[in-house]
A and B are shown apart, each in its own frame.
Chain A
Amino acid sequence: MAVCVSVIGKENSPLYVWVGSGREELHLHYLAHTGLDVIQEKITSVTKTPGDTRDLYLGLLYATEEYKVFGYTTNTRIKFVIITDAANTTLRDNEIRMMFRRLHSLYTNVVCNPFYIPGHQISSREFDKGVAALVAGN
């Protein structure tokens, strides 16, 4: 379903990037990277009302001719960016939302690992597997 899944740290540097095989890796990197602009803008504009439990799902960040870029942010400012094919019209907003939730729980599992240092690159076989299942849509 997704062509790119990326987990981005607090300092806006990537912790984990998965790119679907056969895709232009660098191009998708650029897309995810520029999506950060929108995420940042959305976060700063929303947090003006403190105490408000905002939705972690940020929705469509922007779209290009080929791809759609969706964003999600955790309370600890970890950002998830999922890029899908713009042509894939079967994908509903709700499904994207679900993907993000699953990704979030996968990430939580990674952080629970006492040997993982937050802010470092994620290199976990379990996480790889989880992302692979996620993008496969099952």
Chain B
Amino acid sequence: MRSSVSVILSTPPPDTTMSYPDYTTSPHHHQTLLILVRQVGSQLKSRSFHKLYERISRVGQVKVNDSSGSQRPVWVTYRREYPVENNDWGDFQTHRRVLGIITIGQVGSQSDLNDICKQHESLKVKYSSTLYDSRCIILGLNPDGTMYEAGSGGVSRSSSPDPNGGQESSSIHPNVDSAGHPVITVNGHAHPTHVKKVSSGSTDRDSGVYETVGNDDKPIDSDSHSVSPQGHTEGSTDLKIDSNHVNGSDSGSESTSEVGCCEDGKIDSPRDSALDSTHDTSHSSISTSNSHSSRVSLQPPSNFKTRALFYPTGDHAVNIESQLQEFVSSLFWVLESKRLDKSQEKLERPPLLCAPFERKDFIGLDMDSRTNKKRCAGRLRKQLADLTLQAGLPTEAIIHYSHAADTLRNCNDWLWLAACFEGLCAASVVLLYPNLRRSCGLQRFASLGVGGSAGGPGSVGGRGRNGSVNTNSLPTGLEPTVARQSSKHCLSPDDIVDKYRESIVHYSKYRNAGVVETEASIKAVHVLIEQRRYLMAAEFLSNVVFINLQLSDEEKIARFNALADLYHQIGFHRKASFFRRVAAMRCVAPKDQQLDWGQCYRLLLQTLEGYKICLDPLQFQKDGSQGWPSLQIQILQELVGTSRRMGQNALCTRHQAFLVSAMLSHLSVNERQEQSTMLESLSARSGSGPVPLVVQETGIIIPPVNFLKIPICRKLRLISPTTGRKAEKKASSIAEEDSGPFIFSPFTSLSNSNERRSQGKVDFEWVEGDVCEVCLELENPMPFELKISNLMLITEGVEFEAWASTVLLRADNEHQVARVRGRPQGDGELRVVGYSSTIMGVTSNCRFKFMPHLKTPQYTVTVVPGLPFIQILTGEGSNGNIGNERAIGEECGGLQLALSAGETREVSVVLHNVSSQPVEEVDILLQSKMEKDMLNQVFQYSRENIEAQLPIPPGGRASLTLYVYAASEFLCPGRPEESLDTTSLLSGSEPPSLVSGGPSSLPSRQSAATSSTRGTRTRRTDSSASLLSSRSGSSARSGSSSSTQAPSSVRTRTTLNTPGCNGRSLEASLQMKYSGGCGLGADYCRSAQVNVSVEVTPSLLVTRWDVLPAELPHQCYVVLDLLNSAPHEMDLHYTPTKHILIEAGDSCRVPVPVDRCPLVTLSQDGNEGEGGWGWSEVLGGHVASLVELRWTLGPNDAPGRASLAGITFPPATHDLITMAPIHWDVQVDGQDVVGGTENSGAVGRPLELQVGITNTSGASLPPLSLRITAFQDHQNGHLNYRLDAKMTTTGATKLTTPQLGEGEEFRHCCGLVFFTAGVYKVEVTCSPASTLAQTSFYENVTPTQQHAWKFAPPLEITVAEA
């Protein structure tokens, strides 16, 4: 053992310079005691070591009552590493001395313990020159030295199940152990240590060292140790340091520590005591059973002479703070004693203190010279000052320092003078800036311990790590009065800086003092930061750069890093980043054999702040303009390169993606190409997704990079479904919205729509399950063709099945349209918030809200529940077989038919449900510009038929037959058919023969001229009617003279009607609103529209018409001039039995027998008409209802029919059409006379003529005057009424009938006596009785005319000679 120690002692070669500077140093370190904390042994986990170390380092200050009773703060610095070379500088600056050592180890076996003890001892030896005291914390042992049974490793646990298995912590209660197993209570420090104080004055080494020497009379061997626990030998104690119980009286120390543990434990958890009782028994039983295996007590090796603290685990070390306080105060007392020794002793020949590198300089010098003596005295004084400062008396220290400085300046001892200044500054700083010490990070809890110590922290709030935010520092010139008063020698803030500068200048004269100079500079920087004089701090820092130190690469990196930290603290972020980068580059400098890319990468990440790079692209986008692009690109490229060397391909791709996306605007065209190619090759190795990456070891999160500007999305449009697929709200619900009057207000209407637009609300709906489309207008910023794959929408709200698409963008700056599709899977509100894409292997999620060039953060569209969709097919004709079907609709064009006028076609319309939803409701509506009547005439379908076929299952069909009738205006009276003999018809309309030979009762037109002068025509607006009337009026004048007047009006008519007659088209749209499935429940439907256009070619035209009396009294002839304007021959059926062939273009005249119109209908409907002309329409309707023209036309014998709807008749013809109101019943000698019957009589024999009148009109007839007139027709147009000589009558020939009720009959008899033979005719007429009396009724019927009813043909009597 001894030999090994000596080996260790001999190994460190005497090095005169300090190995490396401590970059965390601060002026306050001058005040502290240095304690080395080391981890020893191999068992201790570094985590538990760190935990313990943290607890230890919290004890940064201990208050000790000194001999005079005043309280002194003692500050401690803990170090985990401290080079022995630096320790050698302890004479130069005493705070560099390691005064205490604490080792922490974990034992699992005896050999571990031995190992730990050995290491501890060797450490002690290493720092033996300065060491005052040490402690060894050993984990894994109970305070009595037995093995701690942890749940994991305990043999007992595995062998016998313990009911209290979870209470390992309570099982090591000291009470139990001591009570239950007193035998095993073996003390860990069986060897009483004898503390012998080496006389401080006896050696040249002025540091007092307490050597813990093993008892000479060791009674204990390694084999017999367990027997004697008493060994109660009190070690010799130094009386001065009575509080320092270094003396390791075994049981004494043990008992104290034990009790401490015990009591603390009890106080901390009183609950445990309750458990104790139960636990006692179980534990004891277990321990008895396992006593052999588990209750092993360990013995430290014999040469271990340090006070050890046993704790089962780190968590049990509850009293470690108090132990530390005790330890620190022990150190303090040693220090204090030395200080007092020094201050009191007056040496005749003071020893020469020197820095390590100076020693050889003084060899051979005359040590007895006056200067040397003064030098020695000065140096000694300086050291005394150091000690005083450490002992917590800064004001005294300042005095000592200034004295020493005076002395040393005189003997030109620059090095020590510099150290003296530095100490002076430190002491002043301690007084002026007590809070500065917090910045060193060791004193986070100092405020707890400081309390009211000297220059106490009169401030609240911690000082930030970053020096620029020190809340607490005293402004220059405003130092606390306490400090000012406490020492007159205390330096002013400005002086501190000056003195630091001076000392640095002096240090710089010595090559070997580089480390000290560096540290002094750093201390000065700290002070300047506190004073907020950053520019000057920067000067000091730049000086540090120039200090030439022989450092290893690792140290150089640490140095640059430290510089970076300091620059950071003074707010020079760019400079900090610069040095950080230098440090990073140093990590991978080619000359270095082992390149540490990982560290380089981590350092580079830290530089980003200084270059204003934020790896979050969104953040960078905001403040990216502040940076220096060329440097940013450089650093990003270095990041890419480093991460690639690290093998972190994902990171590498991420950084490259960031470079491309964020720096795009700063890259030239060539660079864009280059970087993109690079990105592509990198992403081929490892793609980059839109998820954050975590850098290993550091936990730094690299946010995802989304290509928001590659490509640039200029515009986004949600595409409305095509009209057929559009969902509509059902009519009922729309009406609710539109209620209220339409009032336009710019404030409500415009702002509403603007608001909607700005919120991205679209005014149409998408349908669940339907393919929806969004249109993106993209712009390619790259100089090459950009391939975007997996382009799809990001949506929120409704579930949406987004479909990926691939787009190629040309390399020009034009907007290019990309379409993205998808299918909503539910109903509700769908928000389109962005799109995702994969470009160059980088998958990005681009959200609109992050795109500055898009104003709308999201687009909202309502998705309505699924609706069926039908396809409309048609097979023209009723026999439409499936093969002939074709789709119609808006897309496929409508239904187009070519029909000749009057033709009817059946079109079958098939609704094919092509969706997955059933069609449950169909509503068919015809829309057209045509009049409704016309529309219904042209198109007909059966609503019931289609409704009976509902619902249409998915894939099913329903058919609807649409009857299309080519309605047309067949009446075309104005055709300028000059070839046709118009006059003949007109003149023929009233041939004289007709008047005489008309039906049994024909009205005679009296005063036709007056009728035309009544001015009724002027009231007529219908030109056709007026034409007719004018024509009939002319006909009434019974002359062809009318033809002179007619053409003018005919001409106008022609121009008006010609287009209507020559092929016109009928257009209508068949709208089907249908719904079904879920959408029906939500009141949505779809509409399909079929446009039907019917091209009507002319076929038959009625150019003229008139009425003639028929043979039968209840009939009349409607005579029509028909023109076949179709290009084919026409077979026309104008009555059920009669038909005629008309060649194309030919015209022909046909008489159509028509039943006369009963007066009843006339009086019923006619009253509503205006005057007499209302009658013509009623009569026209009557005729039209009776006449139907049918024909077959053309090669296919296409059937057609025409009605005369709209035909009107002039008043002149009314009486021909209407039935007479009376019925004649004429009898001659009791024989009924029917038209044309031969009646014979004889001369002189009276003939009885009986005339009966029956009122057949609907109403009662006013009195009529009946007249019976006989005459002779000479058959030459001459009628002879003068028959006085030829015949006579008996009875009245003129009489007035009484008023006849409906259906009443009046009979009158008279006799006729003929004097000569011959042919006689008797005319029986009936006219209204008197002009006065007839007004009431006849005015209504034909107000313009005088009526008279004749019995026609006139009664003819052939009288023969008797």
Contact = CB atoms under 8 A, between A and B. Distances in A.
Interface of A: 11-14, 17, 26, 29-30, 33-34, 36-38, 41-42, 45, 62-63, 65
Contacts of A38: 535, 538, 572
17 contacts: A11-B625, A13-B627, A13-B628, A13-B629, A17-B630, A26-B631, A33-B628, A34-B572, A36-B574, A37-B572, A37-B575, A41-B534, A45-B534, A62-B538, A62-B542, A63-B542, A65-B546
B538 A41 contact: yes
A34 B626 contact: no
Contacts, number: 55
A33 B625 CA distance: 14
Nearest to A25: B630
Interface string B575-605: 1001000000000000000000000000000
A36 B578 CA distance: 12
A12 B630 contact: no
Interface string B530-548: 0000110010001000100
A28 to B, nearest CB: 10
A37 B571 contact: yes
B575 A14 contact: no
B621 to A, nearest CB: 14
Interface in B305-333: none
A11 B575 contact: no
Given A12-B626, A30-B578, A34-B578, A41 B572 contact: yes
B628 A34 contact: no
B571 A33 contact: no
B628 A42 contact: no
A38 B572 CA distance: 7
Given A13-B625, A33-B574, A42 B535 contact: yes
A119 B574 CA distance: 21
A62 B537 CA distance: 12
Contacts of B65: none
Contacts of B627: 12-13
A41 B542 contact: no
A29 B628 contact: yes
B634 A26 contact: yes
Contacts of A41: 534-535, 538, 571-572
Interface centre among A11, A33, A36 (most CB of B within 10 A): A33
Contacts of B629: 13-14
B1324 to A, nearest CB: 115
A29 B626 contact: no
B573 interface: yes
Interface in B542-574: 542, 546, 567, 571-574
B634 to A, nearest CB: 6
B583 to A, nearest CB: 14
A97 to B, nearest CB: 20
Nearest to A31: B578
Interface in B602-639: 611-612, 625-631, 634
Contact of B575 (A12, A26, A34): A34
A41 B537 CA distance: 11
A63 B634 CA distance: 23
Nearest to A14: B628
A126 B567 CA distance: 39
A45 to B, nearest CB: 7
Contacts of A42: 535
Nearest to A119: B625
Nearest to B579: A34
B537 to A, nearest CB: 10
A73 to B, nearest CB: 15
A72 B1063 CA distance: 91
A32 to B, nearest CB: 8
Nearest to A37: B572
Contacts of B578: 30, 33-34
B332 to A, nearest CB: 42
A33 B611 CA distance: 9
Interface-central residue, A12, A30, A38, A62, by most chain B CB under 10 Å: A30
Task: Please provide the 6 A-B residue pairs with the shortest distance between their CB atoms, ordered closest to farther.
Answer: A37-B572, A11-B626, A34-B575, A34-B574, A37-B574, A37-B575
Nearest to B572: A37
Given A33-B631, A41-B538, 6 more contacts: A12-B612, A33-B574, A33-B611, A34-B574, A34-B575, A62-B538
Nearest to B626: A11
B1273 to A, nearest CB: 117
A22 B574 CA distance: 25
A40 to B, nearest CB: 8
Contacts of A13: 625-629
B331 to A, nearest CB: 43
A11 B630 CA distance: 15
Nearest to B535: A41
Contacts of A34: 572, 574-575, 578
Nearest to B541: A62
A16 B535 CA distance: 26
Interface in B284-322: none
Contacts of B612: 12
Contacts of A14: 628-630
Contacts of B546: 65
Contacts of A12: 612, 626-628
A74 B546 CA distance: 32
A81 to B, nearest CB: 11
Contacts of B630: 14, 17, 26, 29
Interface string B1070-1095: 00000000000000000000000000
Contacts of B574: 33-34, 36-37
Nearest to B537: A41
A116 B572 CA distance: 32
A13 B538 CA distance: 22
B572 A29 contact: no
Given A34-B574, A34-B575, A37-B572, A29 B631 contact: yes
Contacts of B631: 26, 29-30, 33
A63 B626 CA distance: 24
Given A26-B630, A34-B578, A45 B625 contact: no
A42 B612 CA distance: 20
| Candidate in A34, A36, A37, A45 with the most chain B CB atoms within 10 angstroms | A37
A37 B542 CA distance: 13
Contacts of B575: 34, 37
A26 B611 CA distance: 14
Nearest to A17: B630
A93 B627 CA distance: 29
A11 B622 CA distance: 12
A65 B543 CA distance: 11
A104 B460 CA distance: 48
A48 to B, nearest CB: 11
A41 B574 CA distance: 12
Most buried by A among B546, B572, B629: B572
B290 to A, nearest CB: 68
A17 B629 CA distance: 12
Nearest to A12: B626
Contacts of A63: 542
Contacts of B626: 11-13
Contacts of A33: 574, 578, 611, 628, 631
Nearest to B539: A62
A126 to B, nearest CB: 23
B728 to A, nearest CB: 51
Contacts of A17: 630
Nearest to B612: A12
B665 to A, nearest CB: 11
A37 B628 contact: no
Contacts of B535: 38, 41-42, 45
Nearest to B582: A30
B775 to A, nearest CB: 33
A37 B626 CA distance: 13
Q: Which of A13, A26, A29 has most chain B Cβ within 10 Å?
A: A13
Contacts of B628: 12-14, 29, 33
